[in-house]
């Protein structure tokens, strides 16, 4: 009986050791997979950022979205998307009627669904008001008066993020409007989308991730998933997760 008991105890101890060894191996495998997944995620996000940088025509990935002065302290994990208005989001026909460009309304809805704030950086006559709010109110009247779209323009999406020139000297392509809009975005990354290569290049030179819309062979707008991914990328002095 004693021999049988000792033998049983030995087998039990061996089984327990085997189970402990297997559990340790499983934990190591899970940890390795989690670390690998984190590395892959960050590599994908960084790759997406590089792809987006190439969206500025005529610029290489390294120079398309340079750091502007003061960016070193920006560590936000959010993004604000600014647009030009005419021929970027809306089109004015020969009869002066105004409506969304194809895909623009759906694109704004997709950004809204992901809670990504949007704004406008657009030229209007400085005489329309002494503040951005006054000039924006006049802009809304002008657009709404000739609006021919099936649904109204989504002014509420833009809130107080409508930046217009205070003087003729501030009219784009002068950098003033981009600088004011970027300052208003705080620590968030900033994206700018417009129909001209010139404006995309100016925006890119000021630290925006700039995209020229409606180019043959390219998505009509910067993909929403890519923009959402940007909000998870480190910015400024934010460190990458350990394991990179």
What's the pLDDT tens digit per position in 24-77?
544 454 444 444 444 434 444 444 445 444 455 555 433 343 343 344 344 457
Instruction: Tell me the backbone φ, ψ of residue 105, rounded to 5 degrees.
Output: -65, -45
Over residues 224-241, the mean pLDDT reads 69
- pLDDT for the residue 34: 45
pTM confidence score: 0.71
Spell out the domain ranges in the chain.
51-230
How far apart are alpha carbons 52 and 240 in whole angstroms? 19
How far apart are alpha carbons 90 and 106 in whole angstroms? 13
- pLDDT for the residue 150: 92
Architecture of domain 51-230: 3-Layer(aba) Sandwich (3.40)
Strand order through the sheet with 79-83? 162-163, 118-121, 79-83, 189-194, 209-212
Quick count: other Cβ atoms within 10 Å of Cβ 64? Answer: 23
How far apart are alpha carbons 125 and 102 in whole angstroms? 27
- In terms of Cα–Cα distance, which of 81, 53, 78 is closest to 229? 78
Q: How confident is the model at residue 21 (pLDDT cuts 50, 70, 90)?
A: low
Over residues 12-22, the mean pLDDT reads 52
pLDDT digits (tens, 9 = 90+) for 131-148: 999 999 999 999 999 999
* Three-state DSSP state, 158: coil
């Amino acid at each position: 009986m004693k021999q049988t008991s000792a033998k049983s105890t030995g087998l039990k101890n061996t089984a327990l050791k085997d189970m402990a060894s297997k559990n340790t191996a499983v934990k190591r495998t899970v940890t390795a997979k989690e670390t690998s997944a984190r590395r892959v995620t960050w590599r994908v996000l960084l790759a997406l950022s590089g792809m987006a940088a190439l969206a500025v025509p005529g610029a290489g990935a390294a120079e398309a979205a340079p750091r502007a002065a003061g960016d070193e302290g920006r560590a936000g994990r959010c993004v604000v998307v600014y647009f030009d208005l005419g021929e970027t989001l809306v089109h004015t026909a020969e009869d002066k009627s105004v409506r969304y460009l194809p895909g623009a309304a759906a694109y704004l809805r997709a950004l809204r669904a992901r809670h990504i704030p949007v704004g406008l950086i657009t030229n209007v006559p400085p005489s329309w008001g002494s503040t951005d709010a006054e000039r924006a109110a006049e802009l809304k009247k002008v657009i709404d008066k000739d609006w021919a779209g099936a649904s109204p323009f989504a002014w509420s999406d833009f809130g107080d993020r409508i930046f217009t020139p205070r003087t003729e000297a501030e009219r784009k392509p002068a950098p003033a409007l981009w600088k004011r809009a970027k300052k208003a975005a705080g620590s968030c990354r900033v994206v700018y989308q417009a129909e001209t290569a010139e404006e995309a290049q100016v925006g890119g030179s000021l630290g925006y991730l700039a995209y020229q819309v409606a180019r043959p062979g390219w998505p009509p707008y910067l993909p929403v998933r890519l923009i959402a991914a940007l909000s998870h990328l480190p910015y400024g002095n934010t460190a990458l997760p350990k394991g990179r």
